[in-house]
Amino acid sequence: MRTLSSLAFGLILFVSGTAWAQRSDRNVDMPGVRSLNWFGYVGGDDIRAACQPGGRNRVRLVYNALWEEQVRAYEVFLQPDGTAGLQTDVLADQGNVSNILAESAADVLSPWRMKRGQRLLDAAETRRLIDLLQASAAFGPPRDGLRLPDNDFWWTVASCRNGIWGFQAYHYPTDGFANVKFAEQLFAWDNVKVPVNRPRKLEPAEFRRGLDSHSARRGRGDRWILVVGKDGLRPR
């Protein structure tokens, strides 16, 4: 599968005329503003607000592999010809972004910025991805009340297809996580040179809160939990 040039992929990303400055991933790329916009990004607030008949069909998948260790986000831009643009963004070892100042120099912040990869999925690959998403019940509805701690492994999926909003979440190691059928395929297409942080057995999140070495140095002010509602994340 070929990797697109920046120019070619840009044509796919901006087919609807959306400017780079308006894209939601710009609001979470820079560490100084990530803490302000991250929860809305995971919840797909921008996708939901723009979801209407005749609008852009897209899917955003977020794999939280322990917030302080790694997060991978996959943006799927579905095209009318059956193909799709796939953008991968990876955060690794970013720690507590609330302690990073927006006015810090760019060279200081660069280790905490998203590492990005881009691909074009042909029609067959796009159909395969949609089939895997449907087999995973990725378009919803989610389990109301599901809790997603920052220091656990989980997926969220925010989508808009044919004007219909959808949301789903899967928490490891609960039964729902076993329903994820799309992960290995996304990881296979992922061309960011950062190894995937795969799920591993851990003590319950509440037992690990504030007890690891990183948290002991910073305290517990950076800890967070997302709670899933009937059709998306509940407001924080």
| Residue 30 resides in a domain | yes
In a domain, 49, yes or no: yes
Count of structural domains, the chain: 1
- Residue 174 sits in which domain range? 6-227
CA–CA gap between residue 230 and residue 236 (Å, rounded): 15
Q: How far apart are CA 42 and CA 44, in angstroms?
A: 5
Residue 26, in any domain of the structure:
yes
DSSP state, residue 80: T
How far is residue 224's CA from residue 103's CA, in Å, rounded to a whole number?
Answer: 24
Query: Two tokens at 16?
Result: 């609807």
> Locate tokens 């400017």: which residue?
19
pTM (two decimals): 0.80
Q: What is the distance between the terminal CA atoms of the chain, rounded to a whole angstrom? A: 40
8 A C-beta contact, residue 119 and residue 4: yes
pLDDT in tens, the chain (236 residues): 454 444 445 544 444 433 333 455 556 665 555 666 899 999 999 999 999 999 999 999 999 999 989 999 999 999 999 999 999 999 987 654 444 444 444 444 455 678 999 999 999 999 999 999 999 999 999 999 999 999 999 999 999 999 999 999 999 988 889 889 999 999 999 999 999 999 998 877 766 765 444 443 343 456 899 999 999 999 98
Q: Is 232 within the bounds of a domain?
A: no
- The verdict on residue 233 lying in a domain is no
Torsion angle of the four alpha carbons 195, 201, 202, 204, in this order, in degrees rounded to the nearest 10: 130
Q: Which two tokens stand for residue 186?
A: 């996304």
Q: Is position 236 within any domain?
A: no
Residue 234 belongs to some domain of the structure = no
Q: Is residue 125 part of a domain?
A: yes
